[in-house]
Amino acid sequence: MRSWFRENADYLSRQSKLAAMRAELSLLKAVLRSEAKYSPDQPRVPAGNPDGGQWTNDNDNDVTGSTDLQPAPYLLAAGGKQSAAYCWNQMQIDMLLCASLRPAPVNAACRAQANERYSACLAGKPIPPLPF
Amino acid sequence: MIIATRSLILRAQNGDVEIPIRIHAPEKAEVDWVCRFEIDWPEGQAKRWGAGNDAVQALLIALQMIGAEIYASDYHESGKLMWLAPGRGYGFPVTNNIRDLLVGDDKRFL
């Protein structure tokens, strides 16, 4: 058993790094989503209501419930230019994903596509997907 | 290590403001390569990095990121930002999807 670990040390090390990168990626995605969603002007449920103080929105009849699951950049791009900080966050997340990809041509293509997404984000253009 | 610099000029009401851009040598990171750069905008410094499969891709991506930052900036939009002459562009490459933003010599040669 010990020799198996020794022989596969490289593989295990790579898997471990990949798992750490995936965890970091999830965290960054969550941060990005929360930054994109936060608005001090968003209405709250009035006091006296059981949900008083909670964030609400004007479209309570939206039953799709899928907003959180959509790629936020598409939705946000429709609203125009994003902040430089938002685009930079997106770029870092994309780069983390790209870094986990092999073989090299896929990794390189992912980087180039991530950069197109960064440019589009800054310029307020529709952000292309990152299909990797 | 800084390998290249360029200064843009912002024509402000109180006089010209220099906007220095510094590009560092690509460095080998744990997985790939990164190329750091800084743009000293009047409101603060933007420190970013481009990453690539090798040093050349990291450098190219960094240059394109600088191009995107400049062309997407309010300073460019105001028409008061220049490199060597007003309206001639800034001499940084950009990704294909924002080529329509290019002006002057950038539009012709990049």
Cβ within 8 Å, pair B69-A120: no
Over B13-54, what HEC string results?
A: CCEEEEEEEEEECCEECCCCEEEEEEEEECCEEEEEEEEECC
User: Structural domain boundaries of chain A?
Assistant: 20-37+69-132
CB A37 within 8 A of CB A70: no
**Which residue, among B38, B53, B70, B77, would best test binding to A if mutated, counting the most A CBs under 10 Å from its CB?**
B53
Runs of H (alpha helix) within chain A: 2-7, 9-37, 72-77, 84-99, 104-123
User: Structural domain boundaries of chain B?
Assistant: 2-98
- The residue written with tokens 């429709």 in the block is A78
pLDDT one-digit tens code per residue, A54-74: 544 444 433 334 444 445 555
pLDDT one-digit tens code per residue, A26-64: 666 666 655 555 444 444 455 555 555 554 444 443 333
Under the banding of pLDDT at 50, 70 and 90, the label for residue A82 is confident
On chain B, the residues whose CB falls within 8 A of the CB of A127 are none
- Considering only residues B45 and A20, tell me which one the structure prediction assigns the higher pLDDT: B45
- The residue written with tokens 């964030």 in the block is A55
